[in-house]
Amino acid sequence: MTFRLHNTLTRSLEPVPTPESGPLLLYTCGPTVHGRAHIGNLRTFVAEDCLRRHLESKGQAVRHVMNITDVDDKILAKARDAGSSLAAFTAPFVEAFHGDLARLNVRPAHAYPRATAYIEPMIELVRRLQGRGVTYAVDGSVYFRVDAFPAYGRLAGLDVAGLRAGGSGRVDADEYEVKEHVRDFVLWKAAHPQDVASWPSPYGRGRPGWHLECSTIAMAELAETIDLHCGGVDLIFPHHENEIAQSEAATGRPFVRHWLHTEHLQVAGAKMAKSLGNLVTLSELEAQGADPLTVRFYLLTGAHYRKKLHFRAQDLAGAQEALGRLAGFWRRCAAIAQAGGPAQGQAADDPLGGLAATARQRFEQALDDDLDVPGGIAAAFDLVRDGNRLLDRGEAGPAGAAAAAAALAAVDDILACIRPTADQQLDDGPLTPTARELIDRREAARRRGDYAAADRLRVELRALGIALEDQPQGTRWRRVG
RNA sequence: GGCGACUUAGCCAAGUGGUAAGGCAGCGGUCUGCAAAACCGCGAUCCCGGGUUCGAUUCCCGGAGUCGCCUCCA
């Protein structure tokens, strides 16, 4: 089955590019570290993780690089206001970012190069572009002359003549005064006297432009032509358009074979963005009792990555229910499979084995179809419902349960939240002596028929995060939020 | 003003030229001392109006609404 992905460059589904040799080269635009990442940002990184996991689950080796923008106008301004050095100012945000990714079970990139560590190669790229005659310098800053790159605007589908200065209403008009053309962009920016950091260059002290950073790092860490480049839709223009212009003007060869962009997270009818002040961070959701794995599940299954996802806090509760059900079925199947013993039959003879195979295939097909996780998850839920029914009726055995567990494990190679959630629910984990005692006392109360006391104790335990289930084999407990 | 996208049940959402997955919530039932968990059952004139077609939610045109980008943005 071919894995097909939407390519922004062609606006169509195309097979994922195959590297001629070595791993697939994947570049993802990382965070600008002057604040906490919000769950809109994190949606993109989780979607990219899904992409990478699916590639790797299909046996495709990947080399993944994510840059960290640790110098730009805002960072310099905030660092100055905070009275700290650039490095001291950005360090906590870099750390927090890695913490967020780790709690979301995002597979780490192979490298997280920082802009400030690539100043020399960036200057070198400016030099190359100068040699190509596509730049001009004004007052210690160097600009890219967009007219010199005829393909400009192709990625964004923009007619350069139609670009309107300040059309977004976000940019101060005098930013443009020194440029030959509003659409030209800065490669190297002259330092201001009050900047807390600047670097020497042939053009005087200054700092690199944002776009230059990604071109330089992608080419230095990966290659002059990379296979896949990802980011949020807001980066299509101008950031990625400019990356293409710079890189291709310098090398004369294609910069990126396939572009993938993720849609925004919407909140109350607008995109989640720092400038709108409608941010929600992972830490905030955790403080409200949400598990990061639930957030991951929500972000992945809530909507296809190329569709806007409308976030509402109460949707997280629904995601928690849904994920808990997947995890519960996984636990059930794993336990039955484990207890199966040598007498267990063949999966092929077990009706649950057939369902498991179907579910696994449907899920993979959905993922192959432009990472359709919401479509694929339906297959997993069908397996849960049908599997539970067979097990309830005693029509499936350990072999079928093992197959179902394996199928869910394959799904979870991508989702990466089912098994960890199941582990959190495990009822053989450590139990506090208090909880243990309450459970024992409730059992005693039940045996003597004192159901009022038993129910009170059950409520007490629930408040401790312990839910009880009275089953024919005895009372079991699990942890709940 | 230019460009692009979206509109499917209370909510979140897949998908298809032959009358529509899944999840959450809700209601009823089985099971249970009662619950919980699990299972069973119940819900959609697919934004509106034209057109093409034997047939359109799906393709085309128009309209309405919403959102995004137009040099800070995931």
* A10 phi, psi to nearest 5 deg: -110, -5
Judge contact between A1 and A368, C-beta under 8 A.
yes
The CA–C1' separation of A302 and B25, in angstroms, is 16
Q: Does one domain contain both A222 and A95?
A: yes
Tally of structural domains, chain A: 3
Instruction: Give residue A173's pLDDT.
Output: 42
Give the pLDDT confidence of A30-47 residue by residue, as tens digits: 999 999 999 999 999 999
* Nucleotides of chain B touched by protein CB (<7 A): 1-6, 11-15, 21-25, 32-40, 66-74
How high is the ipTM of this complex? 0.95
Concatenated DSSP letters of A133-201: T-EEEETTEEEE-GGG-TTTTTTTT--GGG--TTTTS-S-GGGGTTSSSTT-EEEEEEPPTT-S--B--
In the predicted model, what is the mean pLDDT of residues A71-80? 95
Q: Please check the confidence at residue A166 and state whether its pLDDT lies above 50.
A: no
Judge contact between A42 and A104, C-beta under 8 A.
yes
Percent of chain A topping pLDDT 70:
94
Domain annotation covers residue A275? no
Domain around A446: 433-479
Q: Does one domain contain both A420 and A437?
A: no
Domain annotation covers residue A216? yes
Residues 6+ apart with CB under 8 A from A480: A324, A425, A462, A465, A466, A467
Nucleotide nearest to A233 (CA to C1'): B74
Q: Does one domain contain both A237 and A159?
A: yes
pLDDT band for position A170 (cuts 50, 70, 90) = very low
The CA–C1' separation of A31 and B4, in angstroms, is 25
Nucleotide nearest to A393 (CA to C1'): B39
Nucleotide nearest to A158 (CA to C1'): B3
Domain annotation covers residue A309? no
Provide the b/e sequence for A150-163 (b: ≥16 CB within 10 Å): eebbebbebeeeeb
Entry pTM: 0.94
Q: Does one domain contain both A57 and A123?
A: yes
The CA–C1' separation of A374 and B21, in angstroms, is 10
Protein residue closest via CA to C1' of B13 = A303
Protein residue closest via CA to C1' of B39 = A389
